[in-house]
Structure 1
């Protein structure tokens, strides 16, 4: 019985010691959610992304690309400068990226290009840190922007 307990304890310690550090030099970006799937006139489209970075220097840029699946509708690209902050090692945080389908009073959201028909599209996101390390690209689910 003692041998079985010791073997189980040794296996458990081995598994725990083999866990990899989840923070890497290259930033990691994870798509969390978008606040809807169909958007009408004067609505905000807000994407939530989670990031991790070993050095905590995700302070360069976040890139966004809108890709339309609808013929005749425009694609869209954007570069968002990430504000400076005091970096800490093994940083984990959230980016909220917002756009609007048309003018929203008292809003600072960038307005997405209009289309003459309902626009089924998705968005791609990637981030670069101060060390010029670039994350993988994450992709949103399809959304529809009504004409």
Structure 2
């Protein structure tokens, strides 16, 4: 009969520790907050706002990566020189455990097909590595359409 209270106490301790777990982890986490549009026309711009969460808050000047993944069979010009991987340091800002990162890409850079009749389609993959070397999981955007003219 004394074993039952011990099991209840042990269960209560496990529940307390599980419930008190912080939502922030050492490994940074990204999530997409919003898009200005996912259908970009000539003269437009893609803007994706991402929220970040990081227990130590050491993402200022951290390495940010965005990778374009083409999702259609488009006809690229033979001298295609536009990058698909974008790596750059985030700006310096005070250590915060959460905040926002804004990714921008103009239509003229996104549009690559040599056919004026074929839309381009793609997704972007995002990741960040904090100053301590902790890498986030990769986050995929929703499909993006870049209109032909």
| Pair 1:112-2:118 in alignment | no
What's the offset of the Cα at 1:32?
2.0
Moved more, 123-132 or 65-74: 65-74
After superposition, where does 1:1-147 map in structure 2 within 5 Å? 15=15, 17-19=17-19, 20-58=21-59, 59-72=61-74, 76-88=84-96, 91-102=97-108, 111-116=109-114, 117-147=118-148
Give the aligned CA root-mean-square deviation in angstroms. 2.2
Q: Report the TM-score when normalising by structure 1.
A: 0.76
* Aligned-pair CA distance for 1:144: 0.5
C-alpha spacing 1:115/1:56, structure 2 compared with 1 (3 Å)? same
Gaps of 5+ in 1: 1-10, 103-110
Alignment length, in residue pairs?
127
Tell me the TM-score normalized by structure 2.
0.75
Report the alpha carbon displacement of residue 12 of structure 1 after superposing the two structures with TM.
9.5
Q: Aligned partners of 1:15 and 1:99: how far apart in 2?
A: 46
- 1:44/1:85 Cα in 2 relative to 1: closer, same or farther (>3 Å)? same
SS in 2 for 1:18: helix
Asked if the contact 2:111/2:146 (under 8 Å) is kept, the reply is no
* Bigger Rg over Cα: 2
SS at match of 2:128: strand
Q: Distance in 1 between matches of 2:16 and 2:71?
A: 45
Distance in 1 (alpha carbons) for counterparts of 2:142 and 2:37: 10
Q: Deviations over 1:85-130 (max 9, x none)?
A: 2224xx110111111102xxxxxxxx33522321111111000100
CA contact (8 A) 1:76 1:113 kept: no
Cα contact 1:26–1:134 (8 A) shared by 2: yes
Distance 1:126 1:26 in 2: 11
**In 2, Cα distance between the equivalents of 1:47 and 1:16?**
38
